[in-house]
């Protein structure tokens, strides 16, 4: 489809209207950062009863962003039926929009990254995302469930106190869990219990991984009736013990998950995973084939453009336990927490070990300015708090909380704050762009 692009607009910053996902695990109404940002992004009212789980910023088919066809300084205009999607806009002129190097590597129609804001009230499913090879195979054999053939490494950067389950605990921790949670032994049997207890680090990494894989797969494959009986037992034991002792954080979490997802195998599997807590400004990176579940809080999320999720618990959605248990790396120990590197006094950069993306956090006090130099890849900016001005060679654009802007490759930008101002930027990994 050929589109009209007046010359002067081609290289300039574009305002976006973004898609919102009202998944039932989202925070409701005004409590939801996503709800507040989406309401101002689309100039609509917040529905106090509705969950606002995610805002998607990018070119993914399942949640496209559209250009707001308006003068950039006029906040009152809205999109019209004829507004192009960001995807159409970009693919009409890919080398200018995405930059030569990005087009060469990832093609000419999609941004390599998908940018999101996420507000979690209730745990998301226990999931993992396939690597490139497995993503292709799953998409080929089950295209209705696995809609993309791309992998989906992701990074979550906390906006508020954020909790997640992520990766397996160590073998030593697992032995303690087995000792303290008799319900797990009841589920997996004493033979597997003994195998875990007999294994030591000295047996080698492969052996340790195979034993963790064995017990986790056994747990996840247990039938629903047994899981229901055992979670009921676990719940009443913990409730009784809470009268006489302080429950551990993990036990408290397990009770919380049980309330959200009664009789779900995911409740017990929480004992196998690391309980990670992020303060605002801290980020978690998740590579392919790592199990995780976000539990609560608001975050900025960035990932390779894909929506491939293999789920196994804490979800009413399709579960694919066989695929999940066979794909996991069974790597153990706490994941690395990124705190970012200072680019200047107002900007912190989070660089994950993936080529597709990085995230910058701009925190400006009132009346400050900062420059964003031209880079040979595209960027998306989302204003999460406050107001100010974005200046480019094409003019000045007033910005306010909820605004989302697309900047083509090679756009030089300066940002000035008219209050305390928080902006997040997603772009292609600068390590890749510089290579």
Catalytic site positions? 311
**Nearest CA-CA partner of 408 in 394, 388, 387:** 394
- CA-based angle 405:64:52, to the nearest 5? 85
Note whether 249 and 275 are within 8 A (CB): yes
Specify the 3-state DSSP secondary structure of 378.
coil
Measure CA 317 to chain center.
Answer: 18
How many CB atoms are closer than 10 A to CB 41? 26
Specify the 3-state DSSP secondary structure of 364.
strand
**Nearest CA-CA partner of 376 in 82, 95, 12:** 95
d(CA 362, CA 349): 9
Note whether 170 and 149 are within 8 A (CB): no
Specify the 3-state DSSP secondary structure of 232.
helix
For residue 84, give the DSSP letter: P
d(CA 38, CA 46): 8
């Amino acid at each position: 489809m050929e589109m009209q692009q007046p010359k002067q607009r081609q290289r300039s910053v574009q305002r976006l209207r973004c898609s919102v996902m009202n998944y039932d695990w989202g925070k409701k109404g005004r409590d939801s950062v996503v709800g507040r940002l989406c309401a101002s992004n689309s100039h609509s009212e917040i529905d106090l009863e509705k969950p606002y789980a995610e805002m998607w910023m990018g070119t993914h088919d399942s949640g496209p962003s559209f250009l707001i066809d308006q003068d950039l300084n006029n906040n009152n205009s809205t999109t019209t039926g004829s507004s192009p999607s960001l995807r159409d806009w970009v693919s009409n002129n890919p080398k200018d929009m995405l930059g030569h190097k990005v087009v060469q590597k990832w093609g000419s129609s999609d941004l390599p990254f998908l940018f999101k804001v996420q507000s979690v009230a209730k745990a998301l499913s226990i999931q993992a995302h396939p690597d490139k090879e497995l993503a292709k195979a799953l998409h080929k054999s089950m295209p209705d469930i696995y809609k993309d053939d791309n992998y989906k490494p992701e990074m979550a950067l906390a906006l508020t106190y954020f909790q997640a389950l992520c990766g397996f605990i160590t073998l030593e921790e697992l032995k303690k869990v087995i000792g303290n949670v008799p319900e797990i032994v009841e589920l997996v049997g004493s033979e597997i219990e003994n195998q875990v207890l007999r294994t030591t680090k000295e047996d080698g990494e492969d052996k340790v991984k195979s034993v963790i894989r064995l017990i986790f797969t056994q747990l996840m494959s247990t039938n629903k009736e047994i899981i229901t009986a055992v979670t009921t037992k676990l719940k009443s034991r913990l409730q009784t013990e809470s009268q006489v002792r302080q429950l551990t954080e993990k036990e408290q979490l397990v009770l919380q998950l049980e309330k959200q997802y009664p009789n779900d195998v995911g409740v017990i599997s929480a004992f196998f995973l690391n309980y990670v807590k992020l303060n605002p400004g801290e980020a978690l990176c998740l590579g392919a084939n790592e199990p995780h579940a976000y539990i609560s809080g608001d975050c900025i999320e960035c990932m390779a453009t894909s929506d491939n999720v293999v789920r196994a618990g804490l979800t009413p959605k399709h579960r694919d336990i066989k695929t999940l248990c066979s794909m996991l790396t069974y790597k153990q120990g706490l994941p690395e927490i990124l705190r970012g590197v200072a680019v200047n006094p107002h900007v912190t950069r989070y660089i994950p070990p993936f080529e597709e993306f990085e995230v910058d956090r701009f925190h400006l006090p009132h009346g400050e300015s900062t420059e964003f130099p031209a880079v040979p890849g595209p960027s998306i900016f989302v204003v999460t708090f406050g107001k100010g001005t974005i200046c480019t060679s094409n003019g000045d654009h007033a910005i306010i909380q909820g605004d989302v802007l697309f900047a083509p490759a090679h756009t030089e930008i300066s940002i000035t704050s008219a209050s305390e101002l928080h902006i997040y930027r997603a772009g292609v990994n600068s390590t890749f762009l510089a290579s």
